[in-house]
Structure 1
Amino acid sequence: MKLSLCMIVKDEAENLPKCLESVRNVVDEIIVLDTGSSDDTIAVAELFGAHVHQMPWPHDFSIARNQALQHTTGDWVLVLDADEVLQPEIIPSLQGAIQHEQILVINLIRHEVGAAQSPYSLVSRLFRRHPAIQFSRPYHAMIDDSVEALVKAEPHWQIAQLEGIAIAHTGYQADVIQQQDKFTKARSMMESFLAQHPDDPYVCSKLGALYIQMGDRDTGIQLLQRGLNVKNNDPATTYELNYHLGSVYAAAQENNQAAHYYQQAIRQPIDAKLKLGAMHNLASLMQNSGELVMAEGLYQQVLQIDPTLVVGHYNLGMTLKHMSRFTEAITHYQQAIQLQPDYAAAHQNLGVVLIKVGKVPEAIAAFQQAIHCYEQQQQLETAEQLRQNLAAMGFQLT
């Protein structure tokens, strides 16, 4: 089976090499549609053997993606953005899956690197090249609408999902000012779509969450509630709607409402990795309200699903510390630090529990490392406050 990589790009010379290197020995052709780059994006793509096409930015992601799709010639199409990388561990199962004659689409789990919440998402980015499969929606463009119609017309087709992380996405680390500009453009595109599709639960979820991010809490809640009130057979969208409502109520410290929506989210029949955001946030609610046993149980479930979730180890450590289970807390602080060595708060709280168990030299070393991390991250007031507190307690720092 011939596999085509299909991309749309603009000013991605910095990100593109890592993305294209990840598929160098996987895809049979690389199709890149440039929408107006002013840097070396085109030259970089050509160095990797890409077939580069160009068009002015159409202010609609689905139009651009469909234009790029027209240039593919493979039996299957893999869609990536420049800030995404195909994970090498997934390649054998990916290559095996596209050999199945009845499979139309293979959904992939994407790791949202740097995301404060919901570290994983499910994306329909690997699909059989078929004339009926097209992207729709001007923002968050996806093939799902056309796939749903095709499967209804030709019910022999199957939708599959690969186990394991397929894509790493680093877009959450973007510059704050660029993000604000991105939010404004996204809102404009999604509002236009919503005007034509007022009861679409997916756009209600995405736009509702965006309103909340931009500070319009009431409109965001109304839109998320509208999405839940629509008959919706997609558990992933239902999860998102409940998750976003849980998060907005949690931010307002309306804990009962928040817990209700997080619990509704967790009940959805989707991959466990995709529920981590709701599970972790519900655990945090339990922790903050003093229900430490319930919080511990939820954090343990979270870490069973993803042992690499740094904040999960840290918060479990905090919970165990409050339960006076200091040795166990030390273990989880250390695991958080092993995964993220510059985690200043983990170093600081590790120091606290090391004092509790009488390991003063190790505690001082942990505090010194915390101060160093705070200073490296330009949190100078926090570093100085910690230094003064330790001095007041009689600890001598070098």
Structure 2
Amino acid sequence: MENNPIISLCMIVKDEEERIETCLKSASSIADEVIIVDTGSTDQTIKLCQQFENVKILHYDWDQHFANARNFGIDHARGEWILWLDADEELDVPSWETVKEQLAQQEEATVIQLPVFNYVGERLPIQPEQVFIYYQPRLFRNSKGYQFLKRIHETLKLPTDANITYLPSKIHHYGYITEIEKKKKKETRNIELLQIDIDKMAEDPWVAYHLASEYYRRQEYTQAFQYINLSIYYFLQKLIKPPSILYRLKYAILIETKSLDGAWPSIEKAIDLYPDYVDLHFFKGYILFEKERYKEALEAFGRCLELGDDHKEHLIWQGTGSYRAMEYKGKCLKKIDQGLYDKGGKI
């Protein structure tokens, strides 16, 4: 095992002049080489990339397939470890200071899951509390021949014998900020690419999930709800338990559309499947609060506080296991102290 493992940063870019410098600067002390796969930039992206050391620019004829482009880049990487990022991301530099030392100690690990902080909101600068945290396999050994799959929302294919571990080094992702999405026209592009594979939903239920997610962000909730139910159905048809993120999106849609009767009590079934998913418990508490069942809502928010915010298996809305739950717990107690009628029973 090398004491100073070589890391290759691999990226796909196109017209990223607004964000690329920030991204590369954040990784400059970590990445020993940078593989830039350019799919047709017409702005200053390439020129800005060339300012950095150890950068290799590769030109790729865009074939409407992100996994193909991603694999093209990693095929040219020489590092022991591959780190993959997008231009609308950056490393949280302080939390990466000891990464190489930690990698040198990972004799058995082949894949490293890292926390990605996905910020939302209308525009920059970010609101630190407006963030979803999701662990993803962002570092992996180059020697194992791992490859990406899927046209869009590409996924690293991991064999059953992959040795996965976790590190706390953070990645900040700004691509879901509304002003950035609109400039890049990401929603339109994503839906167009997903529509290419729409006939494969039964084979790959993630296509339906990602369509649901795109329509949800566009606030087109009818389409979003149709696709999320299709995704759940196709997972069940394949005898696979639908991933927790699907249920989170389903109940987020029901809450956004104020379909509380559709959300309760069916959310209990989702919680039975994922009893440790704090966001589902938070949704349960919110639904019960809105239905004026304050005692039951209080119990749900108390469960959120017991579970806390630190969960590596699920997409977490920051604060559902801490200050957001505490805020709603206070609201419940206030309603109970006021002696208001509780529809779950007389207080």
Same fold judged by TM-score > 0.5? yes
**Which of 333, 342, 345 is the aligned partner of 1:323?**
333
Deviation of residue 103 (structure 1)? 2.1
Mapped pair 1:108 → 2:110: no
Indicate the residue corresponding to 1:178 in structure 2: 182
Aligned with 2:73 (options 68, 73, 80)? 68
Give the Cα separation in 1 of the matches to 2:103 and 2:201: 34
Residues in 2 aligned to 1:52 and 1:38: alpha-carbon distance in whole angstroms: 14
1:48 aligns to 2:52 (yes or no): yes
What is the DSSP-based 3-state SS (H/G/I as helix, E as strand, rest coil) of the residue aligned with 1:25?
Answer: coil
Q: Find the counterpart in structure 1 of residue 246 from structure 2.
A: 241
Q: Do the aligned partners of residues 261 and 101 (structure 1) sit closer, same or farther apart at CA in structure 2, a change above 3 Å counting? A: farther
Residues 247-305 of structure 1: per-residue CA shift (max 9 Å, x gap): 222233333543556555556679x7xx4543433332233223242254145347654
Q: Could you tell me which amino acid in structure 1 is paired with residue 115 of structure 2?
A: I
1:246, 1:260 within 8 Å by CA — same for their partners in 2? no
The one of 102, 120, 134 aligned to 2:147: 134
Residue 65 (structure 2) pairs with residue 77 (structure 1)? no
Once structures 1 and 2 are overlaid, which stretch shifts more, 194-203 or 17-26?
Answer: 194-203
In structure 1, the partner of 2:288 is 286
Cα separation, 1, equivalents of 2:133 and 2:113: 13
Distance 1:20 1:178 in 2: 23
Equivalent-residue separation in structure 2 for 1:261 and 1:95 (angstroms): 47
Amino acid at match of 1:133: Y
CA contact (8 A) 2:38 2:59 kept: yes
Q: Alpha-carbon deviations, 1:60-91, whole Å to 9, x = none?
A: 11121112112211111000111112223144
User: One-letter code of the match for 1:89?
Assistant: S
Q: Give the aligned residue type for 1:230.
A: Q
Q: Is the 8 A contact 1:232 1:238 kept in 2?
A: no
How far apart in 1 are the matches of 2:142 and 2:133?
26
Q: 1:141 to 1:221 in 2, by over 3 A?
A: closer
The alpha-carbon distance between structure 1 residues 81 and 177, as it changes in their structure 2 partners (threshold 3 A), is closer
User: Which residues of structure 2 form unaligned runs of 5+?
Assistant: 122-128, 312-316, 336-347
The superposition leaves residues 97-131 of structure 1 with CA deviations (integer Å, 9 ceiling, x where unpaired) of: 35434322112221112269871112222111146
Amino acid at match of 2:191: R
Distance 1:160 1:131, change over 3 A: closer
Q: How far apart, in 2, do the equivalents of 1:263 and 1:80 lie?
A: 37
Gaps spanning 5+ residues in structure 1: where? 152-156, 326-398
Tell me which moved more, 38-47 or 187-196: 187-196
Mapping of residues 156-167 of structure 1, within 5 Å: 157-164=161-168, 166-167=170-171
Q: Matches of residues 219-238 of structure 1 in structure 2 within 5 Å?
A: 219-231=226-238, 238=243
Distance 1:78 1:192, change over 3 A: same
State the Cα deviation string for residues 4-47 of structure 1 (Å, max 9, x = none).
Answer: 00011112122122211222111211111122222221122111
Which residue is 2:18 aligned to? 14
Deviation sequence 1:159-192 (CA, Å, 0-9, x none): 3232435211111113277279422322232233
Structure with the higher helix share, 1 or 2 = 1
Provide the C-alpha distance between the structure 2 equivalents of 1:120 and 1:265, rounded to a whole number of angstroms: 20
Which residue type is aligned with residue 114 of structure 2?
Answer: L
Q: Secondary structure at the match of 2:34?
A: strand
Task: Indicate yes or no: 2:195 matched with 1:191.
Answer: yes
% same residue = 24
Give yes or no for contact 2:228–2:246 (8 Å, CA) kept in 1: no
The offset of 1:132, in angstroms, is 3.2
Q: How does 1:258-337 map to 2 (within 5 A)?
A: 258-259=263-264, 262-263=267-268, 265-266=270-271, 275-290=277-292, 291=294, 292-301=297-306, 305=310, 309=318, 313=323, 316-317=326-327, 319-321=329-331, 323-324=333-334
Please report the RMSD computed on the Cα atoms of aligned residues, expressed in angstroms.
3.4
AA at the equivalent of 1:79: W
Distance 1:186 1:167 in 2: 22
Q: Shift of residue 218 of structure 1?
A: 5.3
Distance 1:309 1:303 in 2: 10
Q: Secondary structure at the match of 2:176?
A: helix
Shift of 1:201: 3.0
Structure 2 residue aligned with 1:375: none
Counterpart contact for 2:119–2:176, Cα < 8 Å? yes
Counterpart in 2 of 1:92?
98
CA distance, structure 2, for counterparts of residue 179 and residue 285 of structure 1: 35
**2:58 counterpart letter in structure 1:** H
Q: CA distance change for structure 1 residues 9 and 252 in 2, over 3 Å: closer, same or farther?
A: same
Q: How far apart, in 1, do the equivalents of 2:201 and 2:100 lie?
A: 35
Question: Is the partner of 1:168 in helix, strand or coil?
Answer: strand
| Contact 1:246/1:258 (8 A) holds in 2 | yes
SS of the residue corresponding to residue 50 of structure 2 reads helix
Distance 1:265 1:21, change over 3 A: farther
Structure 1 Cα separation of the partners of residues 236 and 184 of structure 2: 30
